[in-house]
Chain A
Amino acid sequence: MSDGFQIIVGPQHPALKEPESFTFTVDGENVVKAEVRIGYAHKGIEKLAETKTYIQNIPLVERICGICNVAHTLCYCQNIEYLYGKEIPRRAEYLRVIIEELNRIHSHLLWVGVAGHEVGFDTLFMLVWRDREVVMDLIEAMTGNRVSTALMTVGGVRRDVTPELEQKLRKGMDILEERTKYYRKVVLDERSLLQRLIGVGRLTSAEVVEHSAVGPTARASGIKSDVRSDDPYAAHDEVPFNVISYDSCDLFGRTVVRVDETFEAINQVRYCLDHMPSGPIRMRLPNTPPRGEAVSRVEAPRGEDIHYVRSNGTDKPERYKIRAPTLGNLSALVEMLTSKGDYQVRIADIPVILAGIDPCMCCMDRSVRFVEPAKDREWMLDWEQLKQYSRRN
């Protein structure tokens, strides 16, 4: 690089299987080139899955991602059920939708808080995380755990919703709806937030298609793609919801999409509670699925999650392949971080654009290294300093 600095942001980002390190080439304040390097949090889950039985793999798959663990376990269990070619009880499918949407509410609220934090609006961060405890309590009441739910199993779910829990869920949904309305108002009206979000992290709908972006990132660019409506699984063929999309193609759109999806999730939980069929919640299946292969898709909070399994007739999978949504959004992220034409990416906007695809960059030690090879000079900015810098500008 003869012109411009190189900035290294990273090295780890722990969200899914894809930690990232970014190298930015900057010209003054503008980022002209972004490169991504992944693989820091590689643990070998796919290989490990081949050494465990199908039931033993459920806790492992749950720990691919702690935040969207329901999406991964749902995708896994569905996949194994596809191998058997069996339909699971309808009540179990409704319960799966309930826990999936509770998980989505928790993930989206978490993201709104983190986005507030990245732009220096810590009051929003604290308030959203306080109200997020409501949904964490509901998840704990329903499954016994706050984060890793362990509700899914091959052939159904492990726990039922009792009438007392149903009352709790309805009450919790009312509180969450009221609070989310307030946050929607804040997101739409608060000027200090709007100035940091509008026009930042631009991704046109043509770029979404080109880079195969998924989830709220794609929907904020006007692409109405959602596995729940395109290829309904569990009870999503019966539970009505609107695919939220927004055409502003920037971070503001991504925020609005996530907040509005929270409302949809709340309404889906209510619909499931109203229309829950009675019956068993689990179907016993033999330990060994028949020989074959299957692919299953689930709309995780961050986008489309794809699992593939090949069975060779034993009680362990022969091959397991996982594609988590952040991988789909990474190349689109590089596009968002590159200045082109009238679209300028400033260094100060890097944290919030990175957070924009929801890779959970909130919780790690990170540092930024500025390198100027011409003068053989380099210096470091840690994540805190970068955030301070981003707030001054």
Chain B
Amino acid sequence: MGLVNWARRKSPWLVHFNTGGCNACDIEVLAALMPRYDLERFGAVLKGSPRHADVLVVTGPVNMQIRDRIIRIYEQMASPKFVVSVGNCCNSSGVYRGAYQVYPGLDSVIPVDAYIYGCPPKPEAIINGVAALLGKIKEMGQTPKETSPQVTA
């Protein structure tokens, strides 16, 4: 378990999914992966398929069209899997609160491990969120239980 957990902590592969947001968080997630901020120094690589990924990075408010798809993508990921909710509208529907098509937050649809606040969050905040998640994975290896408290970055 120790070795597996170490490997998992050193190479969290991300899959990025937009649930119909405004794209601002998406370009900030990409900017975090670009040379200046370089999230890849933590071993994080953006993958195309949820089956290859450990961490699901979700941006945007969850709307009714997307709900079934996000659940399917979450189920396609291999366990143990982690979900990072990026941006206010993913955390709590943000500025779209009250719109007829939008759910109150990602955690009303799938379990969420880390919340990153901001509209959009700066790349530094995204890196902080991912680092907090990695800390959580480290703790997870030391305790037998696979669930641990949610983190907020």
**A and B associate:** yes
* Interface of A toward B, CB cutoff 8 Å: 11-12, 14-16, 19, 39-45, 47-48, 51, 59-60, 63-67, 69, 110, 126, 129-130, 133, 136, 146-148, 360, 362-367, 382-385, 387
Q: Bound state CA distance, A40 and B23, in angstroms?
A: 14
Kindly list chain A residues whose C-beta atoms are within 8 Å of the C-beta of B27: 66-67, 110, 147, 360, 363
- Given A15-B23, A130-B36, answer yes or no on A365-B99 (Cβ-Cβ < 8 Å): no
Q: How far is the CB of B2 from chain A (nearest CB, A)?
A: 31
Contact between chains at A69 and B20 (CB < 8 Å): no
Q: How far is the CB of B39 from chain A (nearest CB, A)?
A: 13
Q: List 13 A-B contacts (CB under 8 A).
A: A12-B18, A14-B20, A14-B60, A41-B63, A43-B63, A44-B101, A64-B22, A65-B22, A66-B21, A66-B24, A67-B27, A129-B34, A148-B120
Of the listed stretches B43-51, B130-138, B139-147, chain A binds B43-51
Beyond the given A45-B96, A148-B120, A367-B49, could you list 6 further A-B residue pairs with CB under 8 A, ordered by the A residue number? Answer: A11-B69, A43-B96, A63-B24, A66-B24, A365-B50, A365-B73
Contact between chains at A69 and B24 (CB < 8 Å): yes
Main secondary structure of the interface of A (DSSP, over half): loop
Determine the residue in chain A with the shortest Cβ distance to B94. Answer: A63
Kindly list chain A residues whose C-beta atoms are within 8 Å of the C-beta of B21: 14, 41, 66
Contact between chains at B49 and A48 (CB < 8 Å): no
Contact between chains at B23 and A65 (CB < 8 Å): yes
Q: Bound state CA distance, A19 and B20, in angstroms?
A: 7
| Candidates B22, B26, B47; contact of A63 at CB < 8 Å | B22
Contact between chains at A14 and B31 (CB < 8 Å): no
Contact between chains at A148 and B63 (CB < 8 Å): no
Number of interface residues of B (CB under 8 A): 43
Contact between chains at B119 and A40 (CB < 8 Å): no
Q: How far is the CB of B52 from chain A (nearest CB, A)?
A: 9
Q: How far is the CB of B85 from chain A (nearest CB, A)?
A: 16
Determine the residue in chain A with the shortest Cβ distance to B97. Answer: A48
Q: Bound state CA distance, A329 and B99, in angstroms?
A: 27
Kindly list chain A residues whose C-beta atoms are within 8 Å of the C-beta of B47: 384
Q: How far is the CB of A320 from chain B (nearest CB, A)?
A: 13
Check: B29 CB closer than 8 A to any chain A CB: yes
Kindly list chain A residues whose C-beta atoms are within 8 Å of the C-beta of B95: 59-60, 63
Kindly list chain B residues whose C-beta atoms are within 8 Å of the C-beta of A147: 24, 27-28, 120
Contact between chains at A129 and B31 (CB < 8 Å): yes
* B residues 11-39 touching A (CB-CB < 8 Å): 15-31, 34-36
- Given A42-B65, A59-B95, A133-B31, answer yes or no on A364-B24 (Cβ-Cβ < 8 Å): no
Q: Bound state CA distance, A367 and B48, in angstroms?
A: 9
Q: How far is the CB of A17 from chain B (nearest CB, A)?
A: 9
- Given A147-B28, A148-B120, A382-B48, answer yes or no on A66-B102 (Cβ-Cβ < 8 Å): no
Determine the residue in chain B with the shortest Cβ distance to A385. Answer: B48
- Given A14-B60, A65-B23, A364-B17, answer yes or no on A44-B34 (Cβ-Cβ < 8 Å): no
- Given A364-B17, A385-B48, answer yes or no on A43-B99 (Cβ-Cβ < 8 Å): yes
Contact between chains at A44 and B30 (CB < 8 Å): no
Contact between chains at A130 and B34 (CB < 8 Å): yes
Q: How far is the CB of A47 from chain B (nearest CB, A)?
A: 6
Kindly list chain B residues whose C-beta atoms are within 8 Å of the C-beta of A126: 34-35
Q: Bound state CA distance, A41 and B102, in angstroms?
A: 10
Task: Mark each residue of chain B from 58 to 79: 1 if its CB lies under 8 Å from any CB of chain A, else 0.
Answer: 0011010110010001000000
